[in-house]
């Protein structure tokens, strides 16, 4: 039974609240980047870990310990999530670091296909800039401009 791990982008999963529905759905249905595993063998998703977040511009060595955490459980392959493949400027450096540290580990680029890669990138751009709907921040509380739900307003 192939033992699989997934390495995902920290920003997408943590800041944008991605629940990895596309990655896990494709894994369950053996589609996308999971279609090449032998059909007769069930896939064992051992675990998911994140890159550790930017700034990765200072170096990609940190990825070693992230991958090691999955290697400890005997993974045969590691999939870089499709968001990481599409968005991360350090993708190739990550792959080089992983291959150097774990020459026996199969590295797969991606987990699921995108219907429209450009629309995905445009959407992510808005998610990180939040220009259309501005979320409230600590400064809104400090400057007493925070908006509260009606039931909270009644008691204040």
Residues of the shown chain interacting with ligand SF4 in the complex, contacts defined by CB under 6 A: 9-11, 51, 53-54, 56, 84, 87-88, 90
Query: Minimum distance from CB of 87 to ligand SF4 (Å)?
Result: 6
Query: Closer CB to ligand SF4, residue 11 or residue 77?
Result: 11
| Tokens describing residue 77 | 């392959």
Please check whether residue 6 is in contact with residue 111, taking contact to mean a CB–CB distance below 8 angstroms: yes
Query: Minimum distance from CB of 55 to ligand SF4 (Å)?
Result: 8
Query: Closer CB to ligand SF4, residue 10 or residue 76?
Result: 10
Query: Minimum distance from CB of 35 to ligand SF4 (Å)?
Result: 24
Query: Closer CB to ligand SF4, residue 129 or residue 156?
Result: 129
The terminus-to-terminus CA distance of the chain in angstroms comes to: 59
| Tokens describing residue 60 | 């990609």
Is 91 buried (19+), middle (13-18) or exposed (0-12) by CB count in 10 A? middle
């Amino acid at each position: 039974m192939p033992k699989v791990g997934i390495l995902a982008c920290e920003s997408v999963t943590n800041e944008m609240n991605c629940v990895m529905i596309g990655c896990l759905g494709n894994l369950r249905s053996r589609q996308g980047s999971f279609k090449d595993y032998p059909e007769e063998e069930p896939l064992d998703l051992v675990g998911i870990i994140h890159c550790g977040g930017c700034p990765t511009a200072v170096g990609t060595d940190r990825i070693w310990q992230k991958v090691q955490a999955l290697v400890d459980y005997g993974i045969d392959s590691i999939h870089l999530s499709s968001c990481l493949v599409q968005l991360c400027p350090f993708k190739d450096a990550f792959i080089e670091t992983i291959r150097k540290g774990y020459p026996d580990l199969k590295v797969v680029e991606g987990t699921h296909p995108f219907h429209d890669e450009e629309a995905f990138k445009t959407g992510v751009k808005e998610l990180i800039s939040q220009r259309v709907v501005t979320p409230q921040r600590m400064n809104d509380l400090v400057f007493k401009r925070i908006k509260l739900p009606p039931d909270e307003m009644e008691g204040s």
